[in-house]
Amino acid sequence: MNYRHAYHAGNFADVLKHAVLLGTLESLLQKPAPLMYLDTHAGRGVYDLASESSRKTGEHHGGIDRLLEAQGLPPLLRRYIDAVRACNVEPRVRHYPGSPWLALHVLRAQDRAVLCEVQPDEVAALRTVFAGDGRAHVHQRDGYEALPALVPPSERRGLVLIDPPFEAQEEEFKRIQRALAAALSRWPRGVYAVWYPIKLTRTREPFWRWLRGCNATSVLAAELAVRDETSPLRLNGCGMVLLNPPWKLDQALAAALPTAARLLGEDGRGSWRLQWIKRELCDPRPGT
Ligand SMILES: C[S@@+](CC[C@H](N)C(=O)[O-])C[C@H]1O[C@@H](n2cnc3c(N)ncnc32)[C@H](O)[C@@H]1O
């Protein structure tokens, strides 16, 4: 496996993923009961935007950099930018926080984070970043194999983020489906967030079809495209699906996505979509 997230940290896909992640966690954290955050593909925790890998692609220029300069951001994007700034000592943003850092930034003393990663150097970096933080548990372990083994959490509340490298697209969707099916059979009411790339929109159709039939109560998709689908080889957009999303998250996303598409779109060609893939309008109560 060759994938290294350092080449892509802070790009438009990270912006969507991390803003949605923060919004979801913030909603769940409105209740005082403890929760578990499980990151099946954690990466290294923090990325240096001045590193050789990051400078080689410069992807953050079309992502986080565009939001850092923007005024009048909607609340969800403003809080995301504040979190990115909090990862930096200097006013200039040089360090970009990955999903584990952002999660632990908002988690409370009573919560815990389980971070799975397979690359030894990424695992070592994670251990350094979170040394001394008793809420963070780093596992050098296949996240797909860990997921069904770790749910339901003892807290019975929490969020699972599945953010794989997608080196082989079709196969990755299949692995996600297998892991989600096993996890949902053990924890159908868990909240799950899955990031996926969009080169051609139609390639995610089999995944959406599977989601319609899965045993989560509701499934919401938030998608962002930065250009028209002129090439099937480029990352033209990306999406996050949320299984059993917290109440009103859709409203926060509806307020944030148009601005994200306007700021991140190339030559004004950004677009967005927020769609319920599956929705039960009333929650069945016990005994009904
Ligand atoms: C897209 S990156 C994760 C980025 C991170 N979630 C973030 O937002 O900051 C994918 C990561 O998954 C790791 N990985 C690949 N296969 C894995 C597996 N089966 N289990 C756990 N981690 C894996 C890669 O080494 C890589 O660091």
Domains defined for the chain, CATH in brackets? 5-278 (3.40.50.150)
List the pLDDT tens digit at each of the 288 positions of the chain. Answer: 789 999 999 999 999 999 999 999 999 999 999 999 999 999 999 999 999 999 999 999 999 999 998 999 999 999 999 999 999 999 999 999 999 999 999 999 999 999 999 999 999 999 999 999 999 999 999 999 999 999 999 999 999 999 999 998 899 999 999 999 999 999 999 999 999 999 988 889 999 999 999 999 999 999 999 998 877 888 999 999 999 999 999 999 999 999 999 999 999 999 999 999 999 765 555 543
DSSP one-letter string for 190-227: -EEEEEEEESSGGGGHHHHHHHHHSS-S-EEEEEEESS
Q: 167 - beta bridge partners?
A: none
Binding pocket residue ranges, ligand 1, CB within 6 Å: 1, 3, 5, 17, 39-43, 98-99, 116-119, 122, 142-144, 163-165
Q: Which of 7, 104, 118, 171 to mutate to test the pocket of ligand 1 (most atoms within 8 A of CB)?
A: 118
Q: Which atom of ligand 1 is nearest to the CA of 102?
A: 9
Is the whole-model pTM more than 0.85?
yes
Beta strands 36-39; 219-225: pairing state: unpaired
Distance between CA atoms of residues 63 and 74, nearest Å: 16
pLDDT for res 280 = 76
